Amino acid sequence: MGILEVKNVGKRFGGLQALSDVNLSVAENTVHAIIGPNGAGKSTLLNCLVGKLIPDSGSVMFDGQSVLGRAPYEINQMGISRVFQTPEIFGDLTVLENMMIPCFAKRDGAFELNALPSVSQQKDVVDQAMHMLEEMRMADKRHMHAAAMSRGDKRRLEIGMCLSQEPRLLLLDEPTAGMARADTNNTIDLLKQIKQERDITIAIIEHDMHVVFSLAERITVLAQGTPLVEDTPENIKGHPKVREAYLGESA
Ligand SMILES: Nc1ncnc2c1ncn2[C@@H]1O[C@H](COP(=O)(O)OP(=O)(O)OP(=O)(O)O)[C@@H](O)[C@H]1O
C-alpha cells in the first residue's frame, strides 16, 4: 500500500470528462512521475490531491487518511506540500526573509507580512531559516532580493520553503518549466540531493523527459484523463502505447 492511494477518481468540467477512473499508488520514499500529453489531466489530478478541486467520484488517501473534503491548509498540515509551476515567492523580500515566512508559520501556525520586522529578531526562526538555506546551498545568497535571482534559484528557494514544513509528500508541478538547461540540471541535482538526505516521497508532473528519466523510479502515463500505463522508466521508454499517446510530441 502506497503513502498516496488514488482510487477511481473522476472529475468533470461541464461537458468535459477531465479525469475518469484514475488509479494511482505512490510508494513511500520513491520519486513517481506523472506524464502525459497536453490536456491529459495531470494538473487536474494534482489539484484533486491538494484540495484545490474536489473529485466527483473516487477516493484519495494519504497515509491511510482521506484528504477529500479537507481545505488545502489542512492537507498541507497532513504532510503534503506542493510547488507550483510559477515560483510563489516574495520578490521584494530577501532570500532569508522569504525562508523565514514558512519557518515562522510552522512555529506559530500563521504569518502576516507586517510581522516580518519583529520576526527578524527571533533567533529560533532566523536559525531555522538559515539552516534550510544551508541545506539548499543558498546561504551565501541570503541578502539578495528574491526577484533578482535566476529562475533556477527561485525554484530552489521555493522548494526549500516547502521543505521547511517537513512534508512527507512533495508534489512538483513542472518544476523546470521555462528553465534554461543549466538551471534544469541544477534542479535535477537538487531533487536528487533532497531525496538522498531526507525521508520524503516525491510526485512530479513534468513534460521534460530528461528530467523524468533522471529522477523517476515509477512513471504513470495519463492520456485523455485516464492512466494508460504505469511502469519503471526502462519499460515506459519503449512502450508502444506511450509512443502512440505522444505521437507528434517530443517523447
Ligand atoms: N477549471 C477548468 N474548467 C474547465 N476545464 C478545465 C479546467 N481545468 C482544466 N480543464 C480542462 O481539463 C482538461 C485537462 O486539463 P489539465 O490542465 O488537467 O491537463 P494537463 O495534463 O495538466 O495539461 P498540460 O500538460 O497542458 O498542463 C483540459 O481539456 C482542460 O482544458
Looking at the structure of the chain, the number of domains it has is 2
Q: What is the pLDDT of residues 21-72, one digit of tens each?
A: 999 999 999 999 999 999 999 999 999 999 999 999 999 999 999 999 999 8
Please, which residues have CB within 8 angstroms of residue 193's CB and are 6 or more apart in sequence?
none
**CA–CA separation, 45 vs 87, rounded Å?**
20
Task: Find the 230 Cα to ligand 1 centroid distance in Å.
Answer: 21
Last residue of a domain, one of 166, 201, 217: 166
Pocket test for ligand 1, best of 11, 13, 17 (most atoms within 8 A of CB): 13
Query: For the complex shown, is ipTM > 0.85?
Result: yes
Q: Which atom of ligand 1 is nearest to the CA of 45?
A: 18
Read off the CATH number of the domain in which 197 is found. Answer: 3.40.50.300
| Cα–Cα distance list, 149 to 91, 112, 144, 155, 223 (Å) | 9, 24, 8, 10, 36
Residue ID of nearest Cα to ligand 1 atom 3: 13
Q: What is the pLDDT of residues 212-243, one digit of tens each?
A: 999 999 999 999 999 999 999 999 988 887 87
| Same domain, residue pair 38 and 56 | yes
| Same domain, residue pair 122 and 218 | no
Domain, as residue range, for 98: 88-166
Residue ID of nearest Cα to ligand 1 atom 31: 39
Indicate whether residue 39 lines ligand 1 (CB < 6 A). Answer: yes
Last residue of a domain, one of 114, 132, 166: 166
